[in-house]
Structures are given as structure tokens and as C-alpha cells.
Amino acid sequence: MIMLAGAGIHQLYLERKYPTPREWSFGSRWVLRSAMTREFEPFSRIDGVIVDWARVGSYYKLLLERLEDPKIDGQNLMEQDEGGILVDGVGRTGFDISMKPESWGRGYHQALMGAARSAEHLDGYVTDRKRKKVFPKEMMIGPSNPRPKPKPHGWQDPPKEEDCDPAYASPQVFYMRILTTKGFSTRQRLDAALAYADWLDFKGLAETAESMYDWALDIAAGALPMGSKNVVDMKTGVINPTAEAPASENLLKASTALGVHHALHNNVQTALPIFLSVLKARKDLPPDPLSHARPKELSKPKEESVISAYLRAIKDWLVEAPYPASPPSGDEPPFHTLEEACEEVGLMTYIGEILYATSSKEKGLSWTRDAVEAAEAIMWMMKEEDRKDGGERCQECLETGLNNWKKMARSMAKEAEKKENKNGSKSSGWLNFGREDAAVQSRRWEEELTQIDLRIQKTIPLVKPLEPARSSWLSV
């Protein structure tokens, strides 16, 4: 009984952390919690570090089978054509889930994205049918792999090719299932398109990835109420600053992703206009109307006795929390919040890198410096308001910006030092103007490096905040 009670309490804890749709059967909800626990919880990882993607993938595969089975959780799930549509290399395309509740579809999307992540991590692996073990394909013994990689110490003997199957389906199968399913929101389809494009970039398929980024832009632009012709240039991804309608959250996200793709492939002349247009569009967003309605000073919580606190904690544990409300579709323009300001900082960081590498080093460094200052200011504001979510983007940009800023300043200092030494070894006129100017520049960059080191020390509480000591499980 004690073990059953402990297992039940553990499942309640996981349900609060990883909510599951109430329309699903008990078994399907259990499988989703198990999959997410195996994927995200450190205590479920091998040696506390390595995710067992074979196990995670098996959970998501089982979950999809249950959700698509009319006898379990797939009632009212309709094929979009009689017998379904089969595509070479993809298999069956998506269902029509428009008859299902929104929460059911949200969980289904979660399962498909989880399966896609598993497929990405299991790409290049095979399963030995006899031993039910997963091995890297490069270790497999067979005609297609004449020089198998030696097994690491402590590993089992590598499998034979005739006993092997691919460890998992291709990521394309799951991403295309989402993109061809009828009933998903714009945000859900866009997330799948961008994740698939990122995977294609990782595999070195730049042209195919660009086509997928273009598809993502089509998805975002197609949901605009005013149309897309005057809001974004569909050929370049540049947001029109004089458009009648503002860009939606999805469109800003898709354009930024396209710009990052071009920047990664050294198409900086294409990426820079995209980043600048998205930055301007974000700066022009209207302020959050709720920000003025929030009281500046929160009232102090009502004091309660120790017994009341424990009773409240027990109730919170035993009563199932409601399923979270559906998130925005992303089809409307966002408000200018601190979270949106974090996105601006990311764009400023990209622009600084491009300018430094291509046209003006001083301008690039200036943009990077401004990005660091903005990120720091936003994070201090979030810390003051005790915001737990939304600061990850700014923290990442602050770390990247500080690192870039230091590298840029160090490079500029070395150039100034070389120029100073070069002018010192030459006759630079009886007034020594060239040498003095080089010395001034050298001191300037050395001072900037000192300021950067001080800024790094100052922002340690933001980049690496101290975690509170773990309290007893009895504490409330």
C-alpha cells in the first residue's frame, strides 16, 4: 500500500509538471508523462547526464499508436482522403483532427514533436532485433559497412547487418505529419516547420532547409488577416516598415529564423536586412496594456498557521491541477513586453556580429556593446519583478554578447598595438602624430577590455544565479 501511495503521489507530481490532456485515457496520459520524464528529468538519465533516446522514442511511438487507434483514443480521427494519403519517404500524411478538442490536439502535437526529437537523436543508429539493443550504424558488421568502427570498452559485441533495422523512423515522417494534419494551429505548424528546417541545416542540406524556411514564412504569412503582400516580402523575408498591418508574432519568428539560416551560410547581405527589419518591427510594437494595470507593490500574503500551510500543501498535492489554457496562436502581433525586448537583444547581437565581420568593426562592436547593456538592464528588471520565466533568452544573449564583445575588443587592441609598434619603428615626422594616435587607440581598447571584465563580474548573479539550498521534503 505504501508503495502504491508513493507511486500515486509521484504521478501527481509529474502531472503538475507535465500536464496531460484530460480527454486521453489513463494509459496514454501515463505514457506521455513517462516519455517526458525520461527526456527531461536528470534522475531518469543514464549516469544523470545521457538521455536514453531509445527508451524515450519507444514511449512516444507507443503513445502515437494509442492516440491514432480508434479503439483507444483515436475516436473521431478522420483520414483526409479515403484510405489516407501515402507519400514516398514520409508514409501516411496527417489526419483531420478538427473534430477533436483543442487540448487533445495539443497533446497529439506534443507527442509528434517528441517523436521527431527522438528520431533526430536516433538518426544513424540501428536496432539489433535479436538482442533488442541499439547500436551506432558505424559499428554494424555487414556489406554496407566494410570497415566497422571498433566497439568501446565494456560494450556488447556489435550486431550483424542482417539482424538490424533502423532504430527509428526519419524525423521527416513526424514533421511532415504535423505539417499535413488538418486542425493544428499556425503556431504548432510553424514550430514543426522551423524544427525540421533546423534539422536539415544540421544535416548540411542547406537548399532543402531554405525551402522549408520559405514554407514556414508561408505558414505565418498565410494566417495574417490583412494578407501578406504588404507586410512581408515573401522573396526576401524582409518586414515592410510601412505596411498597413503590423507583423504577427509568428511572422516575426519565421523571418528571424530565415535570417539566422542565411547568416549561418554566410549570406550576410541577405541576413542583415531581415534582422534590421524585424528589429524595427519589434520596436514599433504597442506596449502591453496590462503592464499599466498591474500594481507596483504587491500586497503582502495573508499570514497562515503552520497547520493551515501543511493542509494547503497536502490539498495541492492530492487535487489534480486543471489542464493549462491554450496558448495564443501567434496570428496576432505581440505586445512590447520584457520578453519581446529580449528578442530585440538577440537581433542586436546578430547585427553586431555581421557588421563586425563584414563592414565596420567599430559599428559591430558598438551594436554588441549596446546589446549587452540592454540585456543586462532587462535581466535586472526581471530580477526586480521576480520573474521566473522568460529570461532564458536574455541570459543567453548576455553571455553571448559579453563573449563577443571581449573577443572584438581584444582583436581591436591587438591591431592597435601592432600599429603602435609599426609606427614606433618608423620615422613618423618630428611631431610623432602617427605614433601618439596609435598609442591612444591602444590604451582605449585596453581600457575597454578592463571595463568588459568588470561587467562580467557585475553580471555573474544574472548569468549564474545562486540556487537556494535544497530544503527538507517536510518544508512547505
Cα gap 394→381, rounded to integer Å: 11
pLDDT digits (tens, 9 = 90+) for 311-342: 666 666 667 778 999 998 999 999 988 888 89
pLDDT on residue 45 = 85
Cα gap 96→164, rounded to integer Å: 34
How many helices, marked H, and strands, marked E, lie in the chain? 16, 5
Burial of 456 (0-12, 13-18, 19+ CB in 10 A): middle
Q: Is the pLDDT of residue 464 over 90?
A: no
Across 394-416, average pLDDT: 89
Run of H or E including 399? helix 392-424
419 torsion bin: left (phi>0), alpha (psi -120 to 50), beta (else): alpha
CA angle 3, 323, 321 (to 5 degrees): 50
| Half-sphere exposure for 462 (CA within 13 Å, toward CB) | 27
Quickly state the pLDDT bin for 16 (edges 50, 70, 90): confident
CB atoms within 10 A of CB 322: 8
Q: Give the list of residues 6+ apart from residue 96 with CB closer than 8 angstroms, or none.
A: 77, 78, 79, 80, 181, 182, 183
pLDDT digits (tens, 9 = 90+) for 181-201: 999 999 999 999 999 999 999
Q: Which three cell numbers stand for residue 328?
A: 495564443
Q: Give the list of residues 6+ apart from residue 423 with CB closer than 8 angstroms, or none.
A: 434, 435, 438
CB atoms within 10 A of CB 70: 9
Residue found by looking up cell 496594456 in the block: 289
What amino acid occupies position 81? D
Which pTM value belongs to this model? 0.86
CB-CB contact of 159 with 199 (8 Å): no
Cα gap 330→261, rounded to integer Å: 21
**53-67, 365-379, 453-467 — most confident range:** 53-67
Quickly state the pLDDT bin for 474 (edges 50, 70, 90): very low
Question: Who wins on pLDDT, 122 or 444?
Answer: 122
Q: Which residues does residue 374 pair with via DSSP β-bridges, in sequence order?
A: none
Domains and CATH numbers, the chain: 14-123+171-184 (no CATH), 125-167 (no CATH), 187-192+204-287+331-336 (no CATH), 342-463 (1.25.40)
How far, CA to CA in Å, does 72 sit from each of 23, 56, 94, 182, 184? 11, 21, 18, 21, 21
Residue length, the chain? 476
Quickly state the pLDDT bin for 100 (edges 50, 70, 90): very high
Q: Is the pLDDT of residue 242 over 90?
A: no
pLDDT on residue 443 = 84
pLDDT on residue 43 = 84
Sign of CA dihedral 71, 74, 78, 83: negative
> Where in 48-192 does DSSP place strands (E)?
86-87, 91-92, 125-128, 133-136, 164-166
**Across 43-57, 215-229, 448-462, least confident range:** 215-229
**Across 21-25, 41-45, 180-184, 385-389, least confident range:** 385-389
DSSP 191-226: HHHHHHHHHHHHTT-HHHHHHHHHHHHHHHHHT-TT
Quickly state the pLDDT bin for 151 (edges 50, 70, 90): confident
CB atoms within 10 A of CB 81: 10
pLDDT on residue 243 = 84
Question: Who wins on pLDDT, 176 or 464?
Answer: 176
Quickly state the pLDDT bin for 37 (edges 50, 70, 90): very high
Q: Which three cell numbers stand for residue 128?
A: 539489433
Residue found by looking up cell 483515436 in the block: 74
Quickly state the pLDDT bin for 310 (edges 50, 70, 90): low
